[in-house]
Structure 1
Amino acid sequence: MEARGLVALALSEYRQLVNMQVIHLRNREEDDRRRRRVLISSLLCSRQRASTGAECEMMLNADDGAFAQHFRVTRTQFEFLLNKLQASGLKEQHKRGLAPVPVTKKVLMFLWYMSTSSSFRAISEKFGVSQSSAHRITLEVLNLISSIRPTFISWPGKSKKSASAAAFSRLCGLGDVIGAIDGCHIRVQKPPIRGGDYKNCHSFYSVLLQAVVDDRGRFIDVFAGTPGGVQDARMLESSTFYTSWKKKMGDYSLLGDEAYAGHGFPFIIAPKRDNGAPGEEEQLHNSQIGRGRAVVERALGRMKCRWRRLQDLQHTRVDAMVMTITAGCVLHNMCLGDSESCQEHPQGCPRQEDGNQ
């Protein structure tokens, strides 16, 4: 009986060892399957990234028409911007052992970012880089664009002022006018700090762009980042332009809309307030202002149509918003004169998206 007990105990321990071995083998097989799934997923992602990175090369090698359609600039303008950014310090950089991103691709990514509403995830897939790299490179180029802003946006000298005054006189019949001023809402997400200040009278969140343009619709002064709840006149008073308007304007004037009327800006010609029964002379005066102001309306509409990122900024950092808006103004001036009409809106790009009618 004692021998039988020992045999039974031995068999029991053997069965336990067998069961443990079976469990171990099953766990090992499951681990192997999990590793294979991770490996396959990684390979698929790398193949997708390689194929979408090749898409960037295809766009770069496309004909001139397709290139301009994709990136909203001509090849000549692209080369000009590329050279400017390289001269300002844009270069290939090694990051944690990864292959460097060519400068050409960086500029193409930036242009794609500005001309579309694509997410950084979509941009990373299209250009074959990581999502964090797409974000980092975009901010890098935005910073450099801000640093070269004076190259593209500058106040006119004496001869250009005279030429603009003559052009506005022909356009609207008003003398000594060298530009038009207006404010523009750029839709944003509610910022985490003092977000209520950014809710405008149209009931959406925005930051403001104050733009002064010449007779060609070229930005000669811009001021961006004011919360959308601020009125245009208050924004002007807080802008960098206002601190030096006497030196800049001299005896010349700007054309503005009703938002500037009654605020005592001696350098702005604004329509007289509607008292219900405007006389013939007042109607003529307001009509002349309207014809002259059309240049700033067209400029802002064209910029937001061409650089569609400005139609809805999803940044939560206000500094990134300001840099993106500034970049849109820089790109607008760089492209000015290449094509004065929009293919989608030959009669003029609408401005209903900014809620500033």
Structure 2
Amino acid sequence: MAAIDMLHLPRVRKEKHYRGFNPLNKDFSDEELGQRYRFGRESIEFIANELRADLERNTRKRTALSVEEQVMIALRLYGSGSQLQVVGDTMGYDKSTVSRVVRDVTDALVDRKDQYIKWPSESQKNINKRAFYEKAGFPDVVGCIDGTHVHIQAPTADEPAYVNRKGFHSINVQVICDPQGTCVFFLRSYSRTIENLVPSAISFPCSTMYRE
């Protein structure tokens, strides 16, 4: 009976987007944008402009995605942790389009990571120490460190290594931030091996990311 009922479910109609469409033109407040994409209008525009050279499509197709669309599709996936199909259905794009866009935006962001995220110099460390001391009265602090589990779909290879102590699949992430909340260090690993990597990892910068 359930299988028969599924045959009669209405098909999800994809919203058509045409060349030059900018989802930022929709009447969303910064709070609403933040709820959906984890960034406000100004920050999304900044990211789009930074990635424009890599993401702008040299095509006359009416349905070519704008840079803003691509960035917001990727941000929606990053911020929600949803599956490609769910993001596509929610925003009106095919699953294959979401997959391609997320890959392209991610590659463009990674290519620029060293431009924005840098391990602090000795002079910057001293500035950070003063700022943390003024905020909390705690001396000789150059950064705040914390970790979290990022929920992922079960991988096909080495699946047991990604099961954390709470029983779900995740990647363990460690981040260090400066007094302004900018990430200066980022480390990811399997949930079972991060403890062995932390002591050596914090002594040098590696792949990093930016947080507003």
Establish whether TM, by shorter chain, passes 0.5: yes
Structure 1 segment 5-154 matched on structure 2, within 5 A = 48-50=13-15, 53=17, 60-65=25-30, 66-87=32-53, 89-92=54-57, 99-154=63-118
Partner of 2:191: 228
- Identity score, percent: 22
Provide the aligned C-alpha RMSD in A. Answer: 3.2
Aligned amino acid, residue 75 of structure 1? R
Q: Distance in 1 between matches of 2:11 and 2:57?
A: 24
Asked if structure 2 preserves the Cα contact closer than 8 Å seen for 1:120 and 1:131, the reply is yes
Question: Counterpart of 1:178?
Answer: 142
What's the TM-score, normalizing by structure 2? 0.76
Aligned length: 199
- Name the SS for the 2:193 alignment partner: coil
- Over residues 37-83 of structure 1, what are the superposed CA-to-partner deviations in whole Å (9 max), with x where a residue is unaligned? xxxxxxx969x2236x49x8666321434444433322221111111
Contact in 2 for aligned 1:200/1:230 (Cα 8 Å):
no
For 2:23 and 2:70, how far apart are their aligned partners in 1? 15
8 Å CA contact retained: 2:144, 2:178: yes
TM-score by length of 1: 0.48
Cα distance, 1:116–1:100 mapped onto 2, change above 3 Å: same
Q: 1:70 to 1:198 in 2, by over 3 A?
A: closer
Gap change, CA 1:180 and 1:82, over 3 Å in 2: same
Partner of 1:346: none
CA contact 1:67–1:74 (8 Å) conserved in 2: yes
Change (3 A) 1:207 1:127: closer
Give the conservation status (yes or no) of the 8 Å contact 1:197–1:229: yes
Deviation at 1:94, TM superposition (A): 5.2
Normalized per residue, the structure richer in helix is 1
Q: Distance in 1 between matches of 2:34 and 2:166?
A: 34
CA displacement, residues 168-197 of structure 1 (integer Å, 9 cap, x when unaligned): 323444432211323322222332222222
The structure with the larger Rg is 1
**Partner in structure 2 of residue 156 of structure 1:** 120
Distance 2:67 2:132 in 1: 41
In structure 2, runs of 5+ residues without a counterpart are 1-9
1:208 and 2:134 correspond: no
SS at match of 1:100: coil
Q: Distance in 2 between matches of 1:235 and 1:166?
A: 29
For CA contacts below 8 A with separation 6 or more, give which structure has more relative contact order: 1
Pick closer, same or farther for the CA change 1:197–1:102 going to 2, 3 Å. same
Q: How does 1:216-255 map to 2 (within 5 A)?
A: 216-224=180-188, 226-232=189-195, 234-237=196-199, 239=201, 241-242=202-203, 244=204
